[in-house]
């Protein structure tokens, strides 16, 4: 909860430490010069809403993940957060279906999409069709990968 505010200076911000990380942030913050008459030592952390925030919605901001990582699928974002900050992200976006890695289900007659199972830990993911329930690993593991190749 310490933030670089200048050369060889670090600031501790009480309210900033109360917000969570989110891979779909609803707020952002920036260190700026404080208004005269405050006792913050010359700097404050200014918050800005990035989109509409509903009453009761958790405040979440990006804990400095690169923009490229935010554009990637869940596993990449979670790996990046684990490497950079030492925790596995479980924000709302990371708990939702990962449509960035989805593909059409190859099962005969199925029109669904195979997506990463929600809430799975990195390395334990399963790719499951949301319509018929077929797991991608079952078919890939039996040498039938050619049937899946055209669906990626």
Determine the average pLDDT of the residues in 136-150.
48
Quickly count: other Cβ atoms within 10 Å of residue 79's Cβ: 16
Q: Is 7 helix (H, G, I), strand (E, B) or coil?
A: coil
Determine the average pLDDT of the residues in 22-29.
91
Give the integer Cα–Cα distance in Å for 66 and 122: 19
Determine the average pLDDT of the residues in 103-116.
89
* Longest distance between any two alpha carbons in the chain, whole Å: 71
The predicted pLDDT at position 146 comes to 45
Q: Residues 6 or more apart from 119 whose CB is under 8 A from it?
A: 95
Q: Does pLDDT of 38 surpass 80?
A: no
- The dihedrals phi and psi of 19, each to the nearest 5 degrees, come to -90, 155
Cβ–Cβ < 8 Å for 127, 145: no
Angstrom distances, CA of residue 5 to CA of 1, 20, 42, 147, 152? 12, 20, 10, 55, 45
> What confidence category does residue 136 fall into, taking pLDDT thresholds of 50, 70 and 90?
confident
Q: Average pLDDT of the chain?
A: 79
Quick: pLDDT tens for 118-130. 666 666 677 889 8
Give the integer Cα–Cα distance in Å for 62 and 109: 41
Quick: pLDDT tens for 40-95. 567 788 889 999 999 999 999 898 888 888 888 888 888 899 998 899 998 988 88
The predicted pLDDT at position 27 comes to 93
CA atoms within 13 A on the CB side of 108: 0
Calculate what percentage of the chain has a pLDDT beyond 70. Answer: 79
Quickly count: other Cβ atoms within 10 Å of residue 101's Cβ: 17
Determine the average pLDDT of the residues in 90-110.
86
């Amino acid at each position: 909860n310490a933030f670089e505010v200048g050369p060889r200076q670090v600031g501790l911000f009480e309210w900033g430490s109360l917000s969570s990380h989110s891979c779909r942030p609803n707020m952002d913050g920036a260190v700026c010069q404080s208004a005269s008459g405050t006792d913050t030592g010359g700097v404050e952390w200014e918050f800005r809403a990035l989109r509409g925030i509903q009453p009761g919605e958790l405040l979440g901001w990006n804990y400095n993940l690169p923009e490229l990582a935010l554009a990637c699928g869940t596993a990449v974002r979670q790996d990046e957060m684990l490497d950079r900050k030492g925790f596995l992200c479980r924000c709302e976006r990371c708990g939702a279906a990962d449509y960035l890695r989805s593909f059409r289900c190859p099962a005969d007659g199925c029109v669904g999409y195979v997506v990463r199972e929600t809430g799975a830990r990195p390395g334990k993911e399963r790719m499951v069709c949301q319509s018929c329930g077929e797991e991608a690993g079952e078919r890939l593991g039996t040498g039938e990968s050619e049937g899946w190749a055209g669906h990626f």
